[in-house]
Structure 1
Amino acid sequence: MKFFYVLNGKSLKQFILVGVAAFFTAWFLYLENYVNVPAFSGKDGPKAVYKGEKDLAVSFNIGWGDEKAEPILDILKSKNVKSATFFLSGSWAERHPHIVDRIVKEGYEIGMLGYNYEDYTELEENKIVKDISRAQEAFRKLGIKDIKLLRAPTGHFDQKTLKVADRFGLTVIHWSIDSKDWTNPGVEIIQENAAKATKGDIILLHASDSAKQTAAALPSIIDDINKKGLKLVSVSEMIANATSSSKEIK
């Protein structure tokens, strides 16, 4: 026995509408997962952002020294760079309030690099809490009360770090492009490493005295970014109003 299913005009119209709706739903979900802020995280816990969806963020770590930070600020000013993020250790900020004040006055974002330069993965939870609390107090005394970003001092973090940071209302920020300027490999190599940056990347640079070649490499790095037509934004601007996808971190 043969069976036939006959579609009348009304049924056919409903079928087409359902198909079109399904297509656009799938397309929307694809875009939602494609346009996001990639992050390291636990399965269901807080996340550490390392990349954005568009534009480009240049970030500088400072934990030691008083000779390299201001020349780098001079270069940013001369190159008309309006947005950059400086991750400062609390102990360094206490010793150099005039440089911290200049960073703020020139409109750059400040993130926290803990207080002491310690590997958070090697610390017990209560010691991480103490380090972050001490850093917050140091910045508070300098009149900076709205820091929302934390970078693990050595760059190493785990779920414990993410959970502690989350309790403080802080987002852990990593990076997607390491210039390796901290190894002093030569100005050209630093430039080549930074030149790998594309849309959405967060570049790691240093303004500590141990990074002796960063200032010399920086002008060309900025020129390359401008040639690519990428807009420089702060890390907070990059991650604002964006969803997150994650890679699990143990």
Structure 2
Amino acid sequence: MNFFFIVNGKALKSVVLIMVAAFFTAWFLYMENLTQIPVFSTKDGPKAVFRGEKDVALTFNIGWGDVKAEPILDTLKKENVKSATFFLSGSWAERHPDIVSRIVKDGYEIGLLGYNYVDYQDEEDGKISKDILKAQEVFKKLNVKGIKLLRAPTGHFDKRTLSIAKRYGYTVVHWRLDSKDWQNPGVAKIVENVENAEKGDIILLHASDSAKQTAEALPLILQDLRQKGLKFVTVSEMIANGDVQSKEIK
């Protein structure tokens, strides 16, 4: 009888260990997917682009300041990068029409970053529409034509945002790699955050004054990407030249 209980005790311990290991494995995979794959599309509905099939797209958000944008433009010109996409907030653009004009003159693509820095997930549909339309009006006054891309100001969005953006003719653009330059973690860390870039990636960078280390990190990022044989394209070029990936929003 004692032997019976000893054997079952060992078996029970083995079962518990297996269950614990399975739980943590499942949790790890879940968290990995959660952090790498935000919400991107509605079922059979509008989609948010976060990755393409080939090449690489550098994207720069600008919502504040007038100091950091031009050094980044200078670097792109010096490094002979002819394709990049700048997502500009309407409120910033109307205060800095000269920089907007330079971005256009230098041949870079412009996308909307809304008007105000608001989280679309927290806003009512009408307020999201108003924010997008207000930004749209700014760029019309600045004679910037053909804008078809939209990025949620805070990067957070849901299926309502996708539907509203589609209504006004915009494709929502997210990213696959976040440089986290806005955290100012140091030049080396910013470069490290994008060192795993591969074909089809959309990379998030910032040219706002709050991102104080991006201009210094950018030449190193460009060098690394070129060593991998990656070609720089705008987001629109990436969309036009191959398949894009999206994930479903429920």
TM-score between the two structures when normalised by the length of structure 1: 0.83
- In structure 1, distance between residues paired with 2:170 and 2:242: 16
Match of 1:223 in 2: 223
Residues 200-250 of structure 1: per-residue CA shift (max 9 Å, x gap): 000000000000000010000001111111000000000115445532124
- Does structure 1 conserve the Cα–Cα contact (< 8 Å) formed by 2:90 and 2:115? yes
**Equivalent AA in structure 1 for residue 214 of structure 2:** T
**Is the Cα contact below 8 Å between 2:56 and 2:232 reproduced in 1?**
yes
**Counterpart in 2 of 1:61?**
61
Partner of 2:17: none
Aligned to 1:212: 212
* 2:106 maps to 1:106: yes
**SS of structure 2 residue aligned to 1:220:** helix
Matches of 1:127 and 1:64 in 2, distance apart?
Answer: 21
Q: What is the 5 A alignment of 1:45-124?
A: 45-124=45-124
> In the aligned structure 1, how far is the partner of 2:249 from the partner of 2:115?
24
Q: CA deviation at 1:195?
A: 1.2
- Specify the alignment match of 2:36 in structure 1: none
Distance 2:70 2:104 in 1: 13
- Please report how far the alpha carbon of residue 40 of structure 1 lies from its aligned counterpart in structure 2 after TM superposition: 1.8
Equivalence for 1:181: 181
Whether the 8 Å CA contact 2:61–2:205 is kept in 1: the answer is yes
- Secondary structure of the residue aligned to 1:196 is coil
Q: Is the 8 A contact 2:53 2:238 kept in 1?
A: yes
AA in 2 matched with 1:182: W
Q: How many aligned positions are there?
A: 213
Aligned AA for 1:76?
Answer: L
One-letter amino acid of the structure 1 residue matched with residue 52 of structure 2:
G
**1:117-139: CA deviations, max 9, x gaps?**
10000000000000000000000
Partner residue of 1:154? Answer: 154
Equivalent position amino acid for 1:170 in 2: Y
- Which residues of structure 1 form unaligned runs of 5+? 1-38
Task: Give, in whole Å, the separation in 2 of the partners of 1:96 and 1:137.
Answer: 15
Identity of aligned residues (%): 72
The residue type equivalent to 1:127 in the other structure is: K
C-alpha distance in structure 2 between counterparts of 1:77 and 1:234, whole Å = 15
**Cα gap change, 1:245/1:202 in structure 2, threshold over 3 Å: closer, same or farther?**
closer
Relative distance call for 1:241 and 1:221 in structure 2 (3 A) is closer
Give the superposition deviation at 1:46. 0.1
Using the size of structure 2 for normalisation, the TM-score is 0.83
Counterpart AA for 2:134? R
- For the residues of structure 2 that align with 1:204 and 1:246, how far apart are their CA atoms? 17
Give the match's secondary structure for 1:155.
coil
Cα separation, 2, equivalents of 1:245 and 1:198? 14
Does the CA-based 8 Å contact 2:54-2:242 persist in structure 1?
no
Q: CA RMSD in A?
A: 1.3
